[in-house]
Amino acid sequence: MRLSFLTSGIFLVLSMISTTLTSLITEYWWITGMLGGGLYLWVFIRKRHPDEESPWFEVGQTIGDLLEEQEVRFGNIFVDEENPNMIRFLIQCPKNGGANFETEVQTLLSAFRMRLGNSRLELKPDYDNRAMVLLLPRPESERKKVSLQESLEAVKKSKVPLPVALGQTNGGKYPVLDLAEMPHLLIAGTTGSGKSVFMLNLLVSWLRFRKPHLILISPKPTTFSAFKSVATVISDANEAVQALQSMVIEMHRRYTSPGPHQPIVVMIDELAQLMVASEKPLRAATELCLVQLAQMAREASIHLVLATQRPSSEVITGLIRDNIPGRVCLRVATPSASRMILGDQHGDGYKLRGNGHGYWLQGEKLVEFQSPMVTEEDVRQVVSPSGAILPIRSRGLSRAA
SS3 218: coil
Helix (H) or strand (E) holding 300: none
Q: Where are the domains of the chain?
A: 39-141, 145-383
| pTM for this prediction | 0.75
How open is the CA angle 208-245-250, to the nearest 5 degrees? Answer: 60
Is the CB of residue 83 less than 8 Å from the CB of residue 170?
Answer: yes
Q: Specify which residues 87 forms β-bridges with.
A: 136
- What DSSP state is assigned to residue 353? -
For residues 263 and 212, the answer to whether their CB atoms sit within 8 Å is yes
State which residues of the chain have pLDDT below 70: 1-54, 94-99, 277-278, 385-401
Question: Domain 145-383 carries which CATH code?
Answer: 3.40.50.300
Packing angle, helices 101-116 and 57-69, rounded to 10: 130
Interatomic CA distance for residues 253 and 266, integer angstroms: 17
pLDDT one-digit tens code per residue, 311-331: 888 888 888 888 998 999 999
Q: Please count the residues of the chain.
A: 401
The domain defined by 39-141 folds into Threonyl-tRNA Synthetase; Chain A, domain 2 (3.30.980)
CA distances from 370 to 10, 107, 296, 310, 355 (A): 56, 30, 32, 21, 8
For 70, what's the count of Cα atoms within 13 Å in the CB-facing half-sphere? Answer: 19
Question: What end-to-end distance do the CA atoms of the chain give, in Å?
Answer: 85
In this predicted structure, what is the pLDDT of residue 30?
A: 42
β-pairing, 185-188 with 213-217?
unpaired
Strands 264-268 and 213-217: parallel
Q: Please name which of 340, 351, 357 lies closest in space to residue 400, comparing C-alpha atoms.
A: 357
Q: How many CA atoms lie less than 13 Å away from 400 in the CB half-sphere?
A: 20
Check whether the bond before 260 is cis (ω within 30° of 0): yes
DSSP tag of 128: G
306 strand-pairing partners: 186, 268
Give 13-67 pLDDT, tens digit per residue: 555 555 555 444 444 444 444 333 333 333 333 333 445 566 777 888 888 888 8
145-383: same fold as 39-141?
no
Torsion of CA 315, 320, 321, 324, to 10 degrees: -130
Q: Is 192 helix (H, G, I), strand (E, B) or coil?
A: coil
> Which residue type does 97 have?
G
Give the Å distances, CA to CA, from 369 to 43, 83, 162, 329, 330.
15, 9, 19, 10, 10
Backbone angles phi, psi at 48, to 5 degrees: -145, 165
Q: Using the Cα atoms of residue 9, residue 10, residue 12 and residue 13 in order, give the sign of their dihedral.
A: positive
134, 135, 139, 145 alpha-carbon torsion, rounded to 10°: 140
Other CB atoms within a 10 A radius of the CB of residue 309 amount to: 20
Give every strand in the sheet of 326-329, ordered side by side: 168-169, 365-370, 357-362, 326-329, 185-188, 302-308, 264-268, 213-217, 232-234
Quote the CA–CA distance of 146 and 300 in Å, as a whole number.
Answer: 35
